[in-house]
């Protein structure tokens, strides 16, 4: 079957234009993310080129853009600062290996367990970190930088109202560069951050000792990068699925991200993942739907850099800072902090979002924030469900039997106070526990039921448990009487 873009010239035009727009938008972002990571602009540009080209072939979500990203840059910046560039590259390759392993193990399915409030917290924290990374670039600079930043932001806000054919960030960068060059304004430029590539990247192994010591240094960073990369990629894939109303293969995407990062590391790129912002430009703004747009975005990017390298070097940093401020504003989920939303949201959901954001901003590590946020969400959920177990007692008319009806979910959090609901001292000799409206989930609940039986048995009273559904009966049958000593 021929791909759409071969048979339909209209699709072909859409994809080529979308690829070009994304490539142009990727240049400033890749350079900015290189600066966040503390590496040469070439490193971010190579990463965006190889990530996009490789993922367009091996990825599981068509039209999604992968490149050097802020999330990954933030995770590996400390490693580069403390140990140097070789270790950063080694970590990128290892992160790719981790992603291939995690993808093969089906980690994509685990994404179901990351609650929406953690996702929102992740996105908001990412926006805050991207903004915070711009603050040092705005201190101790010539005064001319500030009006340039304001001008750049104004252009990006108002230019789309005139036309959206050309990406506003690009227009803003071109105009600000022309102004600074023509007027000879002395402000920091991209050239001050390092040289741009003048040729295509060549594969090589990272310059680090291949020892266990090296592994111990890079493994935590590589694992954090693998997790953050997969999370952002799978989240973006889900977003594209919703927008285009199509399905994508998340496991293939996870493994593809790993392959792309391995290739990127081998050519000296800083690694990356799917980009929410660029993917939105590609899919929502430009209307791209196929792998061609992703492939071309990477290819155009490399051509632009190699051909226009000297021009790109003249871009004032103020223009890139403005683009990143715009990216952080666009990334932040403003709806999630609107008073109307906050009034309606359950307190638990809001606190999970806040915990995620605070954890990320304090540790500067997105992976830690997501883990802490998910754990908080699970604790809140367990507390909420724990109150759902109810016990009602009915004494038989003859007074010789009491029936306790238990309803709800019995698990470690709800079964703890179960024992206290039974009155073994005052009850008649025959006790029936009716569990037809309950479900036993774990050993704690079986142990609690055993403890109840033991208390009655010590007073010479008999207990009969009835109404267990099949899974509960199965678990109870396996564990009852085996858990003595657990109280």
This prediction has a pTM of 0.77
CB atoms within 10 A of CB 122: 26
List of residues 6+ apart from 325 with CB closer than 8 A: 131, 134, 149, 153
Please state, in angstroms and rounded to a whole number, the distance separating the CA atoms of residues 285 and 287. 6
Please give the structure tokens belonging to residue 406.
């238990």
Q: What are phi and psi of 184, to 5 degrees?
A: 65, 35
CA angle 226, 228, 231 (to 5 degrees): 105
User: Is 181 strand, coil or helix?
Assistant: helix
**Closest listed residue to residue 175, CA positions, set 159, 195, 187:** 159
**Closest listed residue to residue 95, CA positions, set 238, 242, 272, 279:** 272
Decide: 371 and 115 in contact? Cβ < 8 Å: no
Q: Quick one: pLDDT at residue 6?
A: 63
Please give the structure tokens belonging to residue 17.
């234009």
Q: Quick one: pLDDT at residue 300?
A: 92
Q: Quick one: pLDDT at residue 263?
A: 96
Q: Quick one: pLDDT at residue 257?
A: 97
Q: Quick one: pLDDT at residue 116?
A: 83
Residues 343-374, buried b or exposed e (16+ Cβ, 10 A)? eeeeebbbbbbbbbbebbeeebbbbbbbbbbb
Decide: 372 and 356 in contact? Cβ < 8 Å: yes
Mean pLDDT (the chain) is 88
Decide: 38 and 80 in contact? Cβ < 8 Å: yes
Please give the structure tokens belonging to residue 461.
């009273």
Query: Which residues of the chain are under the pLDDT cut of 50?
Result: 486-487
């Amino acid at each position: 079957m021929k791909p759409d873009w071969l048979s339909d010239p209209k699709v072909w035009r859409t994809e080529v234009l979308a690829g070009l727009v994304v490539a142009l938008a990727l240049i400033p972002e890749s350079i900015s993310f290189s600066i966040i990571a503390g590496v040469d602009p070439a490193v971010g540009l190579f990463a965006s080129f190889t990530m996009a080209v490789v993922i367009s072939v091996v990825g599981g979500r068509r039209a999604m853009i992968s490149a050097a990203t802020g999330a990954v840059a933030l995770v590996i910046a400390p490693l580069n600062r403390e140990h140097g560039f070789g270790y950063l590259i080694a970590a990128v390759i290892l992160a790719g290996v981790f992603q291939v392993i995690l993808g093969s193990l089906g980690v994509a399915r685990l994404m179901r367990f990351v609650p929406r409030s953690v996702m929102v917290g992740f996105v908001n924290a990412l926006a805050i970190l991207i903004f915070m990374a711009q603050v040092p670039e705005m201190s101790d600079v010539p005064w001319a930088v500030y009006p340039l930043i304001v001008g750049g932001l104004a252009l990006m806000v108002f230019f789309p109202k005139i036309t959206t054919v050309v990406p506003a960030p690009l227009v803003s960068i071109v105009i600000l560069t022309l102004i600074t060059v023509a007027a000879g304004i002395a402000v920091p430029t991209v050239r001050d951050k390092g040289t741009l590539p003048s040729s295509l990247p060549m594969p090589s192994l990272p310059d680090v000792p291949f020892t266990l010591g090296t592994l111990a240094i890079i493994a935590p960073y590589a694992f954090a990068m693998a997790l953050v990369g997969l999370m952002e990629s799978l989240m973006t894939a889900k977003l594209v699925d919703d927008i285009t109303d199509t399905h994508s293969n998340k496991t293939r995407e996870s493994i593809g991200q790993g392959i792309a990062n391995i290739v990127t590391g081998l050519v000296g790129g800083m690694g990356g993942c799917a980009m929410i912002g660029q993917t939105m430009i590609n899919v929502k703004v430009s209307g791209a739907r196929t792998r061609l747009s992703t492939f071309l975005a990477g290819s155009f990017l490399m051509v632009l850099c190699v051909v226009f390298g000297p021009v790109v070097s003249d871009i004032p940093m103020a223009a890139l800072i403005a683009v990143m401020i715009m990216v952080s504003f666009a990334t932040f989920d403003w709806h999630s902090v609107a008073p109307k939303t906050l009034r309606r949201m359950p307190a638990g959901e809001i606190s999970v979002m806040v915990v995620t954001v605070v954890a990320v901003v304090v540790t500067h590590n997105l992976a830690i924030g997501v883990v802490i946020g998910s754990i908080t969400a699970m604790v809140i959920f367990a507390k909420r469900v724990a109150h759902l177990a109810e016990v009602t007692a009915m004494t038989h008319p003859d007074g010789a039997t009491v029936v306790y009806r238990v309803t709800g979910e019995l698990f470690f959090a709800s079964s703890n106070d179960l024992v206290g609901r039974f009155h073994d001292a005052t009850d008649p000799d025959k006790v029936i526990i009716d569990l037809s409206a309950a479900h036993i989930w774990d050993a704690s609940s079986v142990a609690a039921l055993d403890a109840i039986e033991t208390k009655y048995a010590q007073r010479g009273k008999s207990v009969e448990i009835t109404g267990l559904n099949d899974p509960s009966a199965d678990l109870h049958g396996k564990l009852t009487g085996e858990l003595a000593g657990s109280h």
